[in-house]
Amino acid sequence: MNRITDFFDRILGSRFWALFIKEVSQILHNRQLLIQLLVPPTVFLTLFGFALNPTFENLRVGITDYSHSRASREFIELFHQTQAFDIRKYYTNEQDMMADLGKGKLTVGITIPPEFDNDLARRRPTTVQALFDAVDANTANVASGYLSQLVSDYNLRRLDIDWRRQGIGTTANNNSTGFTTTNTLARQISPGVTNPALQQNQLPHEKPRVGRLQLQTSVFYNPGLESSWFIVPGTLGIVLTVVGSQAAASLVVREKEAGTIEQLIMTPASSTEVILAKISPLLVLLTFDAVIALIVGRIAFNLPFRGNFLVFLSISILYFFVGISMGILIASYAKSEQQALLTTFFVNPPLVLLSGGNFPILAMPTFMQWLSYLDPMRYFIEVCRGVLLKGVGLEILWPQVVILSIFATILMSLSICQFRRQLT
């Protein structure tokens, strides 16, 4: 009992505690800073979570159908079956469609040739033309991927039907019940059959038929493929870093500009104590921010929290430590508030871009991927996604923790050094 009160006495009586109280009351007096720290992160988190959706749906399709046949309508019907495509307009000639494509009204224009039906009926390969507006290379790429998947599904289905027909045909033949057999065979022995595989299979005794290959896909961690589950943890990292480093920089610089920093040196407190006391209230506020963000994520986006809350909290605090030290380091080099702020403003965008918060790191060129290893935010976002979505703990996230600790130590000692050098 005595030892506990002793412990509290020591903390409460320490210089650090006195400085901490000073910083807290200073921040509490600064209403604008409080608002700055608490409101924008929450607002932007919600906004981005709702708005940013990289999945491509309702890609605008225009169709020129010269064939006007049952087969072509069947083919077009495929586009209705997926969410990915949205047929905007049917054209009577290709020129009109191309003009609309040029104006950016369509993502893809599809031309079905007049001989489509005929070719299919004769088992001749036929060609459908797809024109993409490739100004947006990414969308065009995704659209062309979807489209080839659609066509390949269609082909497989057609081939399947053919196989089955032949299958029925041959069994029917074995059972020697005439009519259907002749019918199917008649349909197959057409002048257009050049396909060796098909021809081969018309011989009943030679059936190198292979079973179908089925893909069973299961999506881990995010079975509904909610894009907000990717965006929100990323934005959490981004927003809190931006806010934290800027607030820290401006707090330190302002004290420098106002000349009150000399008064702080006059106190018996060491520069480490001064800096730590400056950081702690911000740490508390940012942690508070993170918790609010998690609650918002939970309510607005149904974001899961699968991991251990304490693990998340302690790694977050470690990371905020990194972000704040970055701000303080910048501030200790800057001569004016404007310089400090401009520098943080310059440092933040690359950190944001390379972090993988909004854009997958895998999509970057190799060189950028290497650069991203130097970005502490990258590790924090990995931790966020790991704990929130994957529900993993320290046993998997320890490398991130080690790296973040290294960042924290280096940045902190650098800024304390620089601080000391400037003041003495």
Partner 1 sequence: MAVRPQRIIAQTIKELTQLGRDRLSLTMALGLPLVLLLLFGFSTSLDVNRIDIAIQDLDNTRISREYIATFERTNKFHLVAQGPGVNVPQLLDRGGAAAGIIIPPEFSRDLKRQGRQAQVQVLIDGTDANTANLVRGYAKATTNAFSENLRSPSTATTPVTLQTRLWYNPGLETLKYIGPGALAITVTLFPALLAGLATAKESEQNTITQIYASSLTGTEYLLGKAAAFWLVGMAEVLFTNVESWIFFGLSFAGDPTPLIISSALYIACIVLWGIFLGTNTKTQSAVIQAVSFTAFLLSLQFSGYIYPIANIPIYIRWLAGIVPARYYILLTRDAYTRGVGWMSVWSSVLALAALLSFFFFLAWRRLRKMQVEV
User: Binding segment for partner 1 among 9-17, 184-192, 210-218, 268-276 (CB under 8 A)?
Assistant: 210-218
Q: How far apart are CA 143 and CA 149, in angstroms?
A: 10
DSSP state of 354: H
Question: What distance lies between CA 410 and its chain's CA centroid?
Answer: 30
- Among 33, 277, 293, 411, which residue interacts with partner 1 (rule: CB under 8 A)? 33
> Interaction with partner 1 in 161-180: which residues (CB under 8 A)?
none
- Our CB check for partner 1 shows the closer of 25 and 338 to be 338
Nearest to 110 by CA among 138, 72, 141: 72
The answer to whether the CB of 253 falls within 8 A of the CB of 336 is yes
- 80: tokens are 């209705």
- Among 156, 258, 295, 410, which residue interacts with partner 1 (rule: CB under 8 A)? 156
- 273: tokens are 């104590």
> Interaction with partner 1 in 82-111: which residues (CB under 8 A)?
101-104
User: Binding segment for partner 1 among 177-185, 260-268, 303-311, 386-394 (CB under 8 A)?
Assistant: 386-394
- Among 10, 21, 34, 57, which residue interacts with partner 1 (rule: CB under 8 A)? 57
- 181: tokens are 């057999």
User: Binding segment for partner 1 among 10-18, 20-28, 294-302, 365-373 (CB under 8 A)?
Assistant: 365-373
The answer to whether the CB of 49 falls within 8 A of the CB of 238 is no
With CB under 8 A as the rule, give the number of residues binding partner 1: 120
Q: Indicate whether 67 belongs to the interface with partner 1 (CB under 8 A).
A: no
Phi, psi for residue 64 in degrees, rounded to 5: -110, 110
> Interaction with partner 1 in 236-275: which residues (CB under 8 A)?
238, 242-243, 246-247, 250, 254
- Among 292, 392, 394, 423, which residue interacts with partner 1 (rule: CB under 8 A)? 392
- Our CB check for partner 1 shows the closer of 9 and 57 to be 57
> Which helix (H) or strand (E) covers residue 338, if one does?
helix 337-354
Q: Indicate whether 362 belongs to the interface with partner 1 (CB under 8 A).
A: yes
User: Binding segment for partner 1 among 31-39, 62-70, 88-96, 279-287 (CB under 8 A)?
Assistant: 31-39
Specify which residues 304 forms β-bridges with: none
Q: Indicate whether 194 belongs to the interface with partner 1 (CB under 8 A).
A: yes
In order of 89, 92, 93, 128, 252, the CA distances from 67 in angstroms are 16, 11, 12, 11, 73
The separation between the first and the last C-alpha atoms of the chain, rounded to the nearest angstrom, is 42
Q: Indicate whether 300 belongs to the interface with partner 1 (CB under 8 A).
A: no
Q: How far is the CB of 421 from partner 1 (least distance, A)?
A: 19
